[in-house]
């Protein structure tokens, strides 16, 4: 197959995605996150943005293949359309097919669906564990719009510092619910040590932790135990 034929094939593969996944999810609201009902209250979304979420660095061969295909397809889309619009559409196409793209499509409607009586924050972990804001913010329309902009521009790189991410979540003294999403193995500690840490942190707090695992490299034992020991549910995707 020639290089031109390969580009055309990548474009044809990604074209249905461009038609099927418009950016309307940016304005959709949902009462659930990966099927887990949002209970309201004070919620922390802890989101893995390690390299494997976009097929970089760590992760399965399948993850890396998806990442490479997405980049190849984005170039094909960009070349087929041309100009600044082609570049924009190509980047959008590449981002939609990865696990991080899927996570954004779930997280943004969940943020939009938060009742205004609740408060929330977001912690991402990849190169490092980093909170969106140092404290909880009310789920006002303005704050939810700011959060959507933040989530939409996320990109993936680095490892999976799950221990630091959960410690950062518990640094919010008023948190009542944590949604923890990851696609890989913790890289900053053993799973058993993280579970022990959380037992200590949550002994008096009783924060509910629900977990979402993405892809074939997720640590099912860890994610299942983290949810099961803390009153939550584990969803495997």
Q: Could you read off the pLDDT of 36-64 as tens digits, one per residue? A: 999 999 999 999 999 999 886 544 445 44
206 has pLDDT over 90: yes
Q: Both tokens of residue 4?
A: 């031109």
Pair 125, 161: CB distance under 8 Å: yes
Pair 121, 45: CB distance under 8 Å: yes
**pLDDT band for position 14 (cuts 50, 70, 90):** low
Pairing of strands 119-125, 129-131: antiparallel
Phi/psi for 143 (5° steps) reads -65, -35
- The pLDDT, as a whole number, for residue 61 is 45
Name which residue leads in pLDDT, 129 or 5. 129
Average the pLDDT over 155-179 and give the result: 97
Q: Both tokens of residue 150?
A: 């933040």
- How far is residue 72's CA from residue 77's CA, in Å, rounded to a whole number? 9
pTM for this entry: 0.78
**pLDDT band for position 23 (cuts 50, 70, 90):** low
User: 41 by DSSP, 3-state: which?
Assistant: coil
**pLDDT band for position 113 (cuts 50, 70, 90):** very high
Element (H, E) at 93: helix 83-96
146 has pLDDT over 70: yes
Pair 89, 81: CB distance under 8 Å: yes
Please give the CATH superfamily to which domain 23-58+99-236 belongs: von Willebrand factor, type A domain (3.40.50.410)
Length of the chain in residues, anyone?
A: 237
77 has pLDDT over 90: no
């Amino acid at each position: 197959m020639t290089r031109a034929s390969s580009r055309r094939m990548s474009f044809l593969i990604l074209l249905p995605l461009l038609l099927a996944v418009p950016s309307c999810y940016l304005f959709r609201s949902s009462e659930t996150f990966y099927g887990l009902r949002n209970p309201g209250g004070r919620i922390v979304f802890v989101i893995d943005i390690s390299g494997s979420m976009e097929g970089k660095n760590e992760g399965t061969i399948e993850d890396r293949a998806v990442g490479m295909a997405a980049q190849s397809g984005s170039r094909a889309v960009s070349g087929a359309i041309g100009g600044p619009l082609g570049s924009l559409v190509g980047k959008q196409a590449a981002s939609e097919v990865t696990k991080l793209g899927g996570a954004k499509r779930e997280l943004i409607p969940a943020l939009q669906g938060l009742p205004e009586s609740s408060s929330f924050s977001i912690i991402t972990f990849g190169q490092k564990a980093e909170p969106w804001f140092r404290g909880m913010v009310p789920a006002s329309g303005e704050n939810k719009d700011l959060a959507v902009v933040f989530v939409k521009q996320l990109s993936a790189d680095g490892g999976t510092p799950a221990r630091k991410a959960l410690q950062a979540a518990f640094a919010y003294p008023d948190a009542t619910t944590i949604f923890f999403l990851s696609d890989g193995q913790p890289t900053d500690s053993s799973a058993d040590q993280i579970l022990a840490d959380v037992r200590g942190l949550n002994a008096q707090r009783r924060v509910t932790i629900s977990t979402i695992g993405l892809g074939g490299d997720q640590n099912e034992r860890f994610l299942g135990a983290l949810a099961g020991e803390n009153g939550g549910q584990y969803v495997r995707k």
